[in-house]
Each structure stands twice: as C-alpha cells, then as structure tokens.
A and B are shown apart, each in its own frame.
Chain A
C-alpha cells in the first residue's frame, strides 16, 4: 500500500514538472493574471490592467500634443512609426536588474537596440538580446539605465537614472521646473519626446550643484504583460 502511494505521489509530481515544461508560457501568464486579480480584488468591477493602460495612454497623448510627436498603434497603421505588440514571457526574478523576456525574436524581425514601449508614446526600454523566438528587454527600472531626457515646458536637459525608483539628475539649480513636470526622451537611440513619466519632489543632489527628482513612470514593472516594439527606428 505504501509503495503504491509513493508511486502515485511520484507520478503526479513528474506529471506536474512535464506540464511546467510544455505549458510554461500560459502558466506564467496565468500566475501574472492571478497577481493582477489579487491587486484589483478590492473592487471586483474594476479592471486594474485596463485602467493602467488608459491612464498611460492619456499621459502619453498629453505629452504628444505638447511636442507634436505621435507613435502609431499597429491597429491604426497611421503615424510615424510601425510598432509590433508582443506578449511578455517572464520578468527578471531578482532585484539587481530589471529586464523582461518577450515572446518574439529574430523570426519576427526583432533586432538589438529596438525601442520598446508600454503604450503608444510611452518608453519602457530597449531590446538588448535577441534569440530566434524570444528577446530580452532592458527597462528604465534597471539600475544600469541612463539616458538623456528633457524636463518641463522649457525642456531642460537632464539624465534619467534607472532603478526600482527611477530619477532625473544633473538638472541646473535654477532650472524652471516644478512638481508634476513631464519627463520626455532626448536620447538619440529612441524616438524623440517619448513619454517617460512625471517628475516629483525636486531636491538638491549630493554635491548641491544640481537638482534631482524621482520620476513616476505611471506604470509598474510587474504589471507589464504586453509591450510594443518599434520596428522601423531609426
């Protein structure tokens, strides 16, 4: 009897591992959805993920209207850039880096350096490694991320430093900036004026010569389930 129980327990677990291998992508998405469901459980009628996307698109439209830049969705076919929507496969599981793997690779035409967006007009990161069917995307939440940005209506230049809480640094002390100013991309590796977030409390940097401020990207790294890869840039 005991050996039969041992056999059944072993067989069930081997089956679980086989399922893990064969259906790893849908299982990962299932766990991501469970997470989103738990986050949105306070209000069952509220779709947290859709809300986050709408909020982001709204912010990006505000930024785009101010700068006359527009990045199209594949569905509309209009606009300056052609983008491809790709599902997120998994997130880097430790805390010293923030990248994600996406479900498209060289077979779909992806190349290293391609800009990656969370919503039309909202920069998330860039493709850094491409395999045949998957690619790795480094995001602005990675501590190694550094890019040139503009802050506020006067477009003051600064540097965006990545991390779990990204921030802008090297702003002149007399720069005409204020809380809530938009942070837009100026780095030549990405389309100009892509939205990166809103700057919050400005404070003196470590050497008292520059200002720095945390940036609220208006989305969370762990909530990203789909991304848009800009296929025709530069």
Chain B
C-alpha cells in the first residue's frame, strides 16, 4: 500500500502539472469557456479507486499543497483562486461520506456544486456579478469532460489492477 503511494503520488503530481500547462494556455477552450481541469482531476482522484483508503487524507492534503505550489510557479499571479479551489476540494473530501456512495454519482455531485461554489464564492468575495451563463456552460463542459476522463481513468486503473 505505502509502496503504491510512493510511485502513484509523483505520477499524480506530474499529471497535475500537465493539466496546469493546459489551463495556462487555455488549450481546451471552446467558445470562450475553458474547463476547470484541476477540479475534474481532484473529482476523479477522490472517487476512482486509485489510492488506498487509509493513506488518502495525507495524500490529498499533500497533493493540494503541490497544486498550490505548482500553480504559484506557473501563473505567478492569481493565487487566491487556487487556494479557494483547494479549500473547496478539501471540504468536499471531508464531506465525502455524505455523498451518494456510488463512485460515479459522487464524482458528478462533486463537479457540479464544486464549479458553482467556486464562482459563487469568488463573486461574493469581489462583489462581482455571478456570470450565470458562463458558469452554466462551464459546469456542463466540466461534467462532459469529467465523464470522459473518469471512464478513461477507470479503464486504465482496472487494466493495471487486473494485471498485478
């Protein structure tokens, strides 16, 4: 179990860095809307059975720290959204036992309120209008992309789990 974490954790960090590069160049932008790849990543990470249950909490906290540090180095500015997103993800992790219980549905439950809460809190903090149209499109985009990523991750994991 611990051995697994030692090589899965760096892989997760490398994947996170790659996703942040995608975000920093708006690689997947469609009609001015870019998906929240970090939220999708953490959604998949929580609900797909990748890490053992016992090691999850410190792995999650460590990964969130890595996310904030990578974000700071890659973007230099805009650290507040990264911290907010990390706190949201951590909150969802703590509340995960209250979710549906089915991994895939849990994933959807995390992505949809996660997106809405992220922009809702940002708007409230800055006294800015809540851009409902943009947020609705992004939520849909996150869900569609998340479903794709979720199934691909699950297939890869099942394949390697079956082999070992």
Q: Which residues of A does B touch, CB under 8 Å? A: 2-3, 5-7, 9-10, 12-14, 16-17, 20-21, 24, 27-28, 31-32, 34-35, 89-97, 99, 101, 129, 131, 134, 136, 141, 143-144, 163-165, 221-222
Contacts and interface: CB of A to CB of B under 8 A. Distances in A.
Contact of A31 (B22, B75, B135): B22
15 contacts: A10-B6, A13-B7, A16-B17, A21-B73, A35-B27, A89-B76, A92-B78, A93-B34, A94-B118, A94-B119, A95-B135, A96-B123, A101-B75, A221-B26, A222-B25
Nearest to A88: B25
Nearest to A163: B131
B21 A31 contact: yes
B119 A96 contact: yes
Interface string B44-74: 0000000000000000000000000010011
B106 interface: no
In the complex, which range does the number of interface residues on chain B fall in? 35 or more
B11 A13 contact: yes
A24 B29 CA distance: 21
Contacts of A10: 6-7, 10
Interface in B75-117: 75-78, 81
A141 B33 CA distance: 12
Contacts of B147: none
A31 B27 contact: yes
Given A9-B10, A12-B10, 19 more contacts: A3-B3, A6-B7, A7-B7, A17-B10, A17-B14, A17-B17, A28-B24, A28-B25, A28-B74, A31-B24, A31-B25, A93-B26, A94-B119, A96-B122, A131-B76, A136-B76, A141-B32, A164-B134, A222-B25
Contacts of A101: 75-77
A2 B6 CA distance: 12
Nearest to A25: B74
A97 B129 CA distance: 11
A9 B123 CA distance: 41
Nearest to A34: B27
Select the residue from B24, B32, B73, B118 with max chain A CB neighbours within 10 A: B24
B67 to A, nearest CB: 12
B88 to A, nearest CB: 13
A-B complex: 5 closest residue pairs judged by Cβ atoms: A13-B10, A164-B32, A93-B23, A90-B24, A222-B26
Contact of B25 (A12, A90, A95, A141): A90
Contact of B77 (A2, A12, A24, A134): A134
Contact of B73 (A24, A96, A222): A24
A46 to B, nearest CB: 20
Contacts of A24: 73-74
A10 B73 CA distance: 22
A91 B24 contact: yes
Given A96-B128, A164-B32, A35 B25 contact: yes
A222 B34 CA distance: 10
Contact of A143 (B70, B73, B78, B129): B129
